[in-house]
A = this chain, B = another copy of it.
């Protein structure tokens, strides 16, 4: 670093959260979330897979022990539409057309995907997406010093926001358009995560470069985090130049040594994939979500096939199939949500090593733009 300047990446929001660097890391793995927090970032644990409150409690206990008193957050999923609220999984199952079930069976059979052993449940349950489960997660979360609550789909309900604020917890919500961001702001949230087209998971059509300044302007003075296409310090600098108060990174951690994808084959696929090997598809949940392109996504995106069902039906329809594909590591079908940044995820390293490279790259980018601006 020139002039003996210490590495810094501080915004109003990072100071408010008591975090050293304005790097927010979203991950489903407690070990990764804790390591991001320990490295000086803000780890956000994705809670969608916790259907039993005790499992979440166990992992938050672990987080407490492994974050050295530093701040972290929790991401829950509460779809704004409550069409499925108050009705059981069986009622929703009944809405799935027989032709779609047959298409799943045929596609799995074509690829010789074995059945699950007797009594082994599918990993993904629709319940994780339902509001009552999200609320039971919240009951657990508020027992812990969680600093931020993020919501991946839609605005959180008013009472949840009020409850978070009463606990001194900030509320963040993801948005793929300025319109969504404005709706979040009106609902009373504290932070908008502007998630661009190139991001992994649920995403809209507007790219990060265009989306971030548009949302910054739409919700000012609320802080905005830049998400989508960010996997280097240079990209973090770009997101901050666009007006964000921090960067939100999800995909990058999937190939860290602390991540546990339960599939060597999937890790290898991620390490080998280029930026052009993802697709924004409704195959996974019924809403467009970026993921590795596979013969499974191709089958659902094929205009000659039945096409995906709307959320939450599609997620329920494919839950068991996805479990089987993952368990038996069926190469042609094996995928995961991931952004275009997968192209630079080419080695397995510790969260700490990845994090240090982010801050070093940020410094390089600042040096570079300062030289260009004649301020070196």
Contact = CB atoms under 8 A, between A and B. Distances in A.
A276 B363 CA distance: 34
B241 A10 contact: no
A308 to B, nearest CB: 15
A344 to B, nearest CB: 7
Nearest to A340: B210
A228 B207 contact: yes
Nearest to A205: B276
Nearest to A6: B374
A5 B375 contact: yes
A243 interface: yes
B207 A235 contact: no
B372 A275 contact: no
A373 B229 CA distance: 21
Counting every copy of the chain, the complex holds 2
Nearest to A303: B303
A337 interface: no
Interface residues of A, number: 55
Interface string A192-207: 0000111000001111
A276 B207 contact: no
Contact of A206 (B9, B205, B234, B276): B276
Contact of A235 (B197, B209, B234): B209
Contacts of A178: 274-275
Interface string A1-21: 000011011110000000000
Contact of A207 (B6, B209, B370): B209
Of A207, A344, A368, A374, most buried by chain B (CB within 10 Å of CB) is: A207
Of A241, A303, A362, most buried by chain B (CB within 10 Å of CB) is: A241
Given A5-B375, A178-B274, A241-B369, 19 more contacts: A5-B373, A8-B375, A206-B276, A207-B229, A207-B340, A209-B228, A210-B275, A213-B344, A214-B343, A234-B243, A235-B241, A237-B241, A238-B238, A240-B372, A243-B368, A363-B373, A366-B369, A366-B370, A369-B369
26 contacts: A9-B372, A9-B373, A10-B374, A11-B372, A178-B274, A178-B275, A196-B207, A197-B197, A197-B198, A198-B207, A206-B275, A207-B208, A207-B209, A209-B209, A210-B275, A210-B340, A213-B232, A214-B275, A234-B243, A238-B241, A240-B372, A241-B241, A366-B369, A366-B370, A366-B373, A369-B369
